[in-house]
Amino acid sequence: MPVRLNGVIAAPPTGGPHPVVLILHGTHPGCPETEHGVDRWPCDPEVERANYRGFGYLVSALAAQGYVALAINANAEDTFGFGEGVPGERLEQLITLHLDALATAAAGGENNFGVELAGRADLGKLAIFGHSRGAERAVALARKWATDGEARSYGPAAGVLLIAPAAVLVDPAGGAPVPMALLNAACDGDVTDQIGQVFFEAARLAPEQQAWAASLWLERANHNHFNDTLPGDPFAGQDRADCDPLLAADAQRAFLIAYAGDFLTTLFSADPAQVRAALERMGGDAASLATDTLYGKAAQAAWLAEARHRLPLLTPTGEDAFTVSPFDGAVTAEGVTTLFCPDGYYTSITNPELADCHRAQVTVPGQPAHAVVSWAAPGGALRFELPIGLDNLLLYDAFSVRAAVDPLSPLNVAGAPQRFSVRVTDRSGATASVAVRPDEPALRYPAGEAQPDDLFGALFTGRLPLMPVRVPIQAFAGVNLANVAEVALVFDQSDSGALFLADVELVRAPVSPRPTLSNPPSAELIAAAEAGDVEAMRQLANLYKPTEAMGVQYGNLEQAVFWYRQACAAGYAPAQFDFYDFARTHAELHSDEFLDEALVCLADAIRQGHRNAIISGAFHAAFIAQDYPTGFFLYALFEGTEPHFAEQRWSFADQMTQAEIDEAEQAAAAWRAENQIRDDQYFFAAVNSPFRPVKP
């Protein structure tokens, strides 16, 4: 099938290589239709709808933030002019043609893109943005590239951003294998039920959900304004007062630019402080109270932490969720009525036992499985037992529940918000109770009207996204938070009520609000390092070194590398070894950006006889760099002092000639005659530092 490779692209004018962002537009008609209702393909560019151009503003903005961004013409995926293709097949072919050409240009080869790209693009760091149907295609591609094992010049995807997503052909089960953010338009006049939210809702039910997901609800935003070439939405208005007036188109696109920039920071920044700040702005910080304003606009965000960062107490997947938690703790309902609402669409006529789910009358985006919890008198509770071993709340930042007020329940006072309390009981019987805020965003009475309906009695015109209510763990005073027997939702703040509930859980932020694993560095330590104390430099670097404990990240990469470099330049062997040890681990987990300079530092530490540096240098030379003579020489330095290390040289001696072995042995003997292997204490004693460690 003939295609043109065209789109819009922008790149930073200097530096690189930079991460790449691929933007996929939706399925808005490309070529004019014939009298038979089939589009002509290909058609004259003068009459083809250039849907990709609608994201030129985003491409430019992302390039200004340090990314190579391109929005490609994907109309060929949707044409019927050559018959109906296998879904996604043509699109992937188009993407491969574009990104292979980008890889060639980035490597200094042929470049037909019209912008300078040599050295600019790192296609191993690739994010996909998709609008409308392009969003579900982004999910499908991320899944395929993560699992099919094919060799490509690009990817796999590091994350996907779904913009006003649709869900038509792609199975949402499992969500995405990489971080996924959804930007839902509250007044979507195309995907009017916001069914694309199903990708978020399905991710939370994945057995081992390894990547985080975020779902943002932007008030007064519509579907088409994210693409600046499209007219208004086809089903605008929908008798919704909360959508009149709509958010200005320029403001809606500015919101996307800001959100997209922070999303990319979470994917590609190696600095935990920057990642944490981005998550806070995105509304995805589990350690903070939920907000109703993001980037200066009315918006809310739901956050699904990866599995290791949360402990689910109630995940509605069936009626048994009200008797046992996902980790086999007892769940008890007292003074409240519970109802399980399965996912999908159904009515009170087809499923009368589910009438109180109001599924056909109230739009809950994504139509997820959830619970209805109602009470006719104050004081009822949902209680969750915490078994021993899972009872340390200090590992978490907040208690979280996603909720919405049912506008069709007579138990809720029309126009009034709902409230409840969270109660913690430790194993000694002590309790602490915290009431949620009086005007908690997720518990406000939803915007919209209940309109009479002949079939169902009433239809609610608004939308009910399930949004988070968070109570910080540190708010519970007077109990032993490391030894908690039970957490409970207590409905004691209103006389009656009915809530849609999902995802009751304990959560923690993926990047800790604390700057380091231990206490922050003292002012004295910082001052000593700044004054040239090399041991203070080493300790400061190690404090800032990014690390992880119990699934929580700590540290500051930029500060750690800065102080390692200072101490290495001063020739301080313990710091030189520590820098190598850090850079090696960083290379295994993230990138080898610091490894070469750390190896130079390691070589200097070896020259000084630093024991751990010699061991690491020998291993690197022999088993990584395959520099067998150097590895043999370094292991031979331990002859006579630590024979078990010296013996290691014979494990690869068959890779060397006898002449090389003899030369390495002689060099090692000469070194031992003039030098000695020294441990850290030797170097600590040689510096005049009040912070130097002293052997007990």
Q: Is residue 549 pLDDT above 70, yes or no?
A: no
Which residue, among 228, 225, 203, has the nearest Cα to 214 in the 3D structure?
A: 203
The CATH class given to the 7-304 domain equals alpha beta
Instruction: Domain ranges for the chain, please list them.
Output: 7-304, 309-507, 523-685
* Per-residue pLDDT, 557: 85
pLDDT of res. 514: 47
**Which residues are within 8 A (CB) of 208 and not within 5 positions of it... i.e. 6 or more apart?**
307
Does 84 have pLDDT greater than 90? no
DSSP secondary structure letters along 181-229: EEEEETT-SSSTT-GGGHHHHHHTT-TT--S-EEEEEETT--SGGGSTT
Q: What confidence tier does 519 reach under pLDDT thresholds 50, 70, 90?
A: low
pLDDT of residue 515: 44
Q: Higher-confidence residue: 402 or 34? A: 402
Write the DSSP string, 261-284. Answer: HHHHHHHH---HHHHHHHHHHHT-
State the pLDDT at residue 517.
41
Q: Tokens 């529940």 label which residue? A: 401
pLDDT for residue 516 is more than 60: no
Average pLDDT over residues 141-159: 95
pTM: 0.77
Per the omega criterion (within 30 degrees of 0), is the bond before 17 cis? yes
Q: How far apart are CA 323 and CA 317, in angstroms?
A: 12
Distance (Å, whole) CA 21 – CA 60:
11
Q: For residues 508-525, give the mean pLDDT.
A: 64
**Helix, strand, or coil (residue 134):** helix
What average pLDDT does range 530-537 have in this prediction? Answer: 93
- Report how far residue 179's alpha carbon sits from residue 267's, in angstroms, rounded to the nearest whole number: 8
Q: For residue range 638-692, list pLDDT tens digits in order.
A: 999 999 999 999 999 999 999 999 999 999 999 999 999 999 999 999 998 988 8
Least confident of 79-88, 196-205, 368-377, 548-557: 548-557
pLDDT value of position 297: 97
Distance CA 52, CA 570 (A): 53
User: How far is Cα 12 from Cα 422, in angstroms, rounded to an integer?
Assistant: 49
Mean pLDDT lowest for which of 41-50, 359-368, 402-411, 616-625? 41-50
Fold (CATH) for 309-507: Jelly Rolls (2.60.120)
What's residue 205's pLDDT?
A: 87
Calculate mean pLDDT across residues 112-140: 97
The pLDDT-based confidence of 553 (bands split at 50, 70, 90) is: low
* pLDDT confidence tier of residue 35, bands split at 50, 70 and 90: confident
So what's the pLDDT on residue 194? 93
* 551 pLDDT more than 50: no
In this prediction, residue 696 carries a pLDDT of 61
Residue percentage of the chain with pLDDT more than 90: 79
Percent of the chain with pLDDT over 70: 97
Is residue 86 very low, low, confident or very high in pLDDT (cuts 50, 70, 90)?
A: confident
Cα–Cα distance between 447 and 348 in angstroms, integer? 23
Q: Give the confidence band of 513 by pLDDT, cuts at 50, 70, 90.
A: low
Segment 285-301 mean pLDDT: 94
Model pLDDT for residues 483-492, shown as the tens digit of each residue: 999 999 999 9
Whether the CB-CB separation of 560 and 515 falls below 8 Å is answered with: no
